[in-house]
């Protein structure tokens, strides 16, 4: 599956498209790897010169995805996994595939939600 991106597209649209593919993951873009507080706002265009295509597949690891975005497009990206109502960096589990990360996020979130509905 491909995630098609172009320079007119804002960060929020890219994030929305990614999360449609992987509902328990989200992606954030940063201006610098060394200053993660400098995140691209969701309403800012990514400002690439040409249209570019990012190929994403279920067996791609988080590390591969983040490195591909950096190497091919000069953007810093970080993938987060949902844990109930929170988002966790996937840096410790970056060697898991996108599908594994998404499945893990779904399983944990469903367990947390079930525990909140039926506390013991």
pLDDT of 59 reads 92
SS3 40: coil
For residue 45, the enclosing domain spans 2-117
Q: What is the pLDDT of residue 32?
A: 67
CA-to-CA distance for 43 and 50, rounded, in angstroms? 19
- Under DSSP, the state recorded for 41 is P
For residues 76 and 70, the answer to whether their CB atoms sit within 8 Å is yes
pLDDT at 104 over 90: yes
Kind and range of the H or E run holding 54: strand 52-55
Q: What is the pLDDT of residue 33?
A: 64
Q: 117 pLDDT band (50/70/90 cuts)?
A: confident
Domain count, the chain: 1
Q: pLDDT of 42-64, one tens digit each?
A: 666 665 555 566 778 899 999 99
Asked if residue 90 lies in contact with residue 101, where contact means CB atoms within 8 angstroms, the answer is yes
Residue 102 has pLDDT above 70, yes or no: yes
pLDDT, tens only, 59-90: 999 999 999 888 877 778 899 999 988 998 88
pLDDT at 71: 83
- Which pLDDT does position 77 carry in this prediction? 87
- Would you state the pLDDT for residue 23? 96
First to last CA, the chain: 42
């Amino acid at each position: 599956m491909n995630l098609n991106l172009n320079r007119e597209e804002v960060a929020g649209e890219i994030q929305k498209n990614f999360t449609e593919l992987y509902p328990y993951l989200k992606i954030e873009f940063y201006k610098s790897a060394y200053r993660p507080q400098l995140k691209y706002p969701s309403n800012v265009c990514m400002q690439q010169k040409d249209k570019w295509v990012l190929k994403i597949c279920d067996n791609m690891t988080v590390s591969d995805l983040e490195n591909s975005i950096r190497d091919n497009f000069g953007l810093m990206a970080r993938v987060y996994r949902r844990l109930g109502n929170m988002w966790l960096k996937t840096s410790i589990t970056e060697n898991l595939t996108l599908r594994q990360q998404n499945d893990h996020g779904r399983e944990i979130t469903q367990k947390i939600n079930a525990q909140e509905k039926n506390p013991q």
